[in-house]
Structure 1
């Protein structure tokens, strides 16, 4: 009975203004911006757009870094990011071979960082994230000269590197980290041990004790991830505590043997990683680009009521409540009747998702306040909405609510259980609902099979599975058979 679910849970993102401030404060982005403002007509760049070696010490000094090998590497990295994000425009030399130099000018994106909108800033930052992601999945070259042939071509086969597989592995790790961060309705944002992330991609779900071969694969993956997260942290998507270098010096030991094997040891020594709020935004953007359904709370605030009710169908309770509150806020205090009217209209239907829509409509109306009452009273005679309207009015203490006809009582009971089955709620709660509804009405199963509801037979079958009383369960199964026979006739 369940409708198709979003592939990922909804994420609560910080505002674009907050995220843009985080992007501008990311260390690598800060250095890229500073170099973009430092560069001038006399800045020398190579044929590939890179800053020439002779300029690297000055660039490092401008960034407040030591004029040594590490400072030069940081400066070179920041320069590449400035070029990749359009903060700088580099023109290649028209001729002159390897020693020729290009020209550099300020890119139009540099001005957008101060004059543009937060969305403009985030767009530039996302370009930077793409560039850093590509760097993180690039091969590690111990001796590049060995890969260059006599004709100057690069022997890519000798790299033993599959770019698609590397990118897929890192994306899988980031996806798992995203899901872990959203676990328990966003309460799972504690740092995650690096071995656990590596193992999540390698150790089969049904494996008990990992084999030595699996542990070795996890160890190798963990070391690769250590390098990758060191590259990703400066762009601001993760807080990362690297692997303790002392572990690497312990000769003859596989670094994750104890961490994956469950030994009592300080797991933080093996690396800890946590997605930042900016990281949640960035990884979600990558997932959307890859075609995943990755909803964010607030996406439905400007949509029609039918899109709202369908969209929150399988949201966690607090996320659904926030989404509805944002949607209602669009109508303002004076728009309660209009909002309630649209919600009730969207709740109608005999399709598979309609019972869950009506359940969420009822919950949304509870947030709409007393101003929704005229719209609710207007549907008291509606066969599909009259039951929930009476429930809403009774919960608000109304004393003039007309008693529902018997067929409406049974229809509402079937509809309510159908919605809960589709919502995949807690088994104990669902069992309590089933037993409570059947106990409220004498001869429930003698009448329920006649209910003109598309889900009647499915609901009665479920009641037969869930009811703890064997006699009642048997009556439910018989009623389900009769309902199917009636529908077939």
Structure 2
């Protein structure tokens, strides 16, 4: 896909705030100030707050919404089907994430109310009590795990603002809605999940953590603190593709245990940017953005990193003010990155909520036929796809399955055509499992039904098994040939040509079928015939100019006939 095209489309997508998130009242145990959307943890660094509360969230608007599903489809980006643990196992993983669970425990500790000072800070005695009773020290057990040493250190702290074990859980609990402050008291918030409820706990983790990371990866680092003379650089950064977001999408589809080389990915993504100061600046910004995103995911059990070196805090400013040879010496290693099963589940939940198809292997037994047919192209393994079909078929009688598959073939748009392309593999399994002959009777009836798409798919299947039915649509084979190319007509000449040339070494390729019926394809009356035939003509021109000419003539006739 074209990163420039994707960037332009993503600029219209209102994903600055994760789906379902709310703005919470933010603060710290001592009222410390941090930049909007950030918190300061024990390491002294700033990290993005969860829950989609980044600084750009205020600018969201409902106008001109474009679904992320449409954007990814427009650039031909399809998420592969993945394996995920069940809900109980994912919830068990969440319970092993120290920082998140500390925030949850703190919310339950606040319960019906804990007294705060006029500055909305826990009193020192209560703060020490929270660290012990809510076990907040578990966020950093190496530093705070020794009971006697911890008691002595906390006894010397005179303000909750300086109580390190409390800082991170308090910030996250407030921002996630696990704690709410009212009238100088801290209460359990409305968003606080039951620790024993797997569904509620997993949903809270996904909203708070995965939402923050995805939002951060979509918002390219702003240059708000630049001197006024360097403000035009914003135009450069606004044109940069969201490579860190695309990195998450790429990592999502990797096989289990496989790593993504971050440097190679970012370098490939900047291929169109020539060497020079602009490229070095964008690279430095991307590295900062990657470390923030990956660090957030890693902190909350969603990702793993290996071989990375944190960049200097002032790396970007050093590049701008001191030049490429000043300040930042060399490029810090970004190492390798991968999502954990928990991280993959969190990213999937957000993408599905945004309308992006993201099938899970082994999860479609109870789905309708439309969902099954739409998901099958995402399966990278033919074995997994066959097992999914078998599991789906086992959950219903063969005749009912035949009816559902035929009904799912209705429609004339590219997505409908893509489902029809998958229908033969499912119908073949249906016919093989049918011992009564009722499934075949369903196909015979549907083949003469005159329902666009349904009748064509049923008649096509009967022709495949050598039992064509009388009374089927005239030019049905030609209609299906045009329909089969429809989902790929907008993918570009090269992609369409590769599909036409694919096939068995000894056997008929799609290109051969196309050549045999080219002169009659327009007669089928497919609603997208002129568009598809025109695209086919351009795709085959480099390999068969005579066929391209025939297809252009057919496209003209199709356009004239409508």
Q: Same fold (TM over 0.5)?
A: yes
**Structure 2 CA distance for partners of 1:80 and 1:451, relative to 1, 3 Å:** closer
User: What is the number of equivalent residue pairs in this alignment?
Assistant: 425
The structural deviation recorded for 1:255 is 5.5
2:551 aligns to what?
Answer: 476
1:349-393 alpha-carbon deviations (Å, 9 max, x no partner): 555655434223223323434323332243354566666546645
Alpha-carbon distance in structure 2 between the residues aligned to 1:319 and 1:134:
28
- For residues 70 and 191 of structure 2, what CA distance do their matches in structure 1 show? 41
Say yes or no: does 1:374 pair with 2:441: yes
Kindly indicate whether residue 514 of structure 2 is the aligned counterpart of residue 451 of structure 1.
Answer: no
Alignment of 1:68-147 (within 5 A): 72-85=163-176, 87=178, 91-93=182-184, 102=185, 104=186, 112-114=194-196, 116=197, 118-129=198-209
Is 1:412 the counterpart of 2:494 in the alignment?
Answer: no
SS in structure 2 at match of 1:25: coil
Does residue 212 of structure 1 match 2:272? no
The 8 Å contact of residues 387 and 404 in structure 1, kept in 2 or not, is answered as no
Q: 335, 339, 357: which is aligned to 1:275?
A: 339
Q: Distance in 2 between matches of 1:256 and 1:18?
A: 44
Give 2:89's match in structure 1, choosing from 18, 21, 34: 18
Deviations 1:450-479 (A, max 9, x none): 333334444544454316343343333334
CA contact (8 A) 1:380 1:386 kept: yes
Structure 2 residue corresponding to 1:359, chosen from 398, 421, 446: 421
From 404, 415, 423, the equivalent of 1:342 is 404
Residue 148 of structure 1 corresponds to which residue in structure 2?
A: none
Distance 2:240 2:194 in 1: 31
Cα distance between partner residues in 1 of 2:476 and 2:500: 17
How many Å separate the matches in 2 of 1:248 and 1:121? 34
Distance 1:37 1:367, change over 3 A: same
Aligned-partner Cα distance in 2 for 1:158–1:246: 18
The 5-angstrom pairing of residues 215-294 of structure 1 reads 215-223=280-288, 225-227=290-292, 229-241=294-306, 243-244=308-309, 257-258=330-331, 269-286=333-350, 292-294=354-356
8 Å contact kept, 1:331–1:339: yes
Q: Using the alignment, how far apart are the partners of 1:354 and 1:227 within structure 2?
A: 40
- Which piece of structure 1 moves more, 63-72 or 466-475? 63-72
Shift of 1:179: 1.6
1:415: how far off? Answer: 1.8
Distance 1:390 1:136 in 2: 50
Residue 179 of structure 1 pairs with residue 255 of structure 2? no
C-alpha separation between the residues in 2 aligned to 1:307 and 1:393?
Answer: 23
Unmatched tracts of structure 1, length 5 or more: 94-101, 138-156, 260-268
Residue 24 of structure 1: how far off its partner (Å): 1.6
Could you say which residue in structure 2 is the equivalent of 1:427?
A: 497
- CA apart distance, 1:282: 2.8
Where does 1:141-160 land on structure 2 (aligned, <5 Å)? none
User: In 2, are the aligned partners of 1:194 and 1:271 still within 8 Å (CA)?
Assistant: yes
CA contact (8 A) 1:301 1:323 kept: no
Question: Partner of 2:6 in structure 1?
Answer: none
Task: Provide the rounded CA distance (Å) in 1 between the counterparts of 2:555 and 2:214.
Answer: 57
Query: Which shifted more, 333-342 or 70-79?
Result: 70-79
Indicate if the aligned counterparts of 2:112 and 2:188 stay in contact, CA closer than 8 A. Answer: no
Contact 2:417 2:484 (8 Å CA) reproduced: yes
Matches of 1:381 and 1:272 in 2, distance apart? Answer: 56
Shift of 1:120: 1.0
Change (3 A) 1:303 1:40: closer
CA spacing shift, 1:283–1:430, aligned 2, 3 Å: same
TM-score (norm 1): 0.66
What is the deviation of 1:212?
2.9
Kept in 2: contact 1:136–1:231 (CA 8 A): no
Tell me how far apart the structure 1 counterparts of residues 240 and 551 of structure 2 sit (CA, whole Å): 50
Give the whole-Å Cα distance in 2 for the aligned partners of 1:121 and 1:327. 32
Q: Unaligned 5+ residue runs, structure 2?
A: 1-68, 145-149, 155-160, 218-223, 319-324, 503-508
Tell me the TM-score normalised to structure 2 length.
0.58
Preserved contact between residue 402 and residue 443 of structure 2 (Cα < 8 Å): yes
1:437 is aligned to 2:513: yes
Residue-by-residue CA offset, 1:263-322 (whole Å, 9 max, x unaligned):
xxxxxx434432222223333445566xx432221698766545665x449x42449997
State the alpha-carbon separation in 2 of the partners of residues 73 and 135 from structure 1: 27
- 8 Å contact from structure 1 (residues 312, 320) kept in 2: no
- Give the Cα–Cα distance (whole angstroms) in 2 for the partners of residues 437 and 135 of structure 1: 47
Q: CA deviation at 1:238?
A: 2.1
Q: State the distance in 2 between where 1:76 and 1:170 align.
A: 35
Corresponding residue to 1:296 among 349, 353, 358? 358
- Specify which structure has the higher proportion of helix: 1
Contact 1:56 1:75 in 2 (8 A): yes
2:379–2:385 CA contact under 8 A, matched in 1: no
Larger radius of gyration: 1
Structure 1 contact 460–477 (Cα < 8 Å) conserved: yes
The CA distance in 2 between the partners of 1:335 and 1:437, in whole Å, is: 35
What's the Cα RMSD here? 5.1
Q: 1:455 to 1:26 in 2, by over 3 A?
A: same
Q: Does the 8 Å contact 1:113/1:121 carry over to 2?
A: yes
- Alpha-carbon offset, residue 113 of structure 1: 1.2
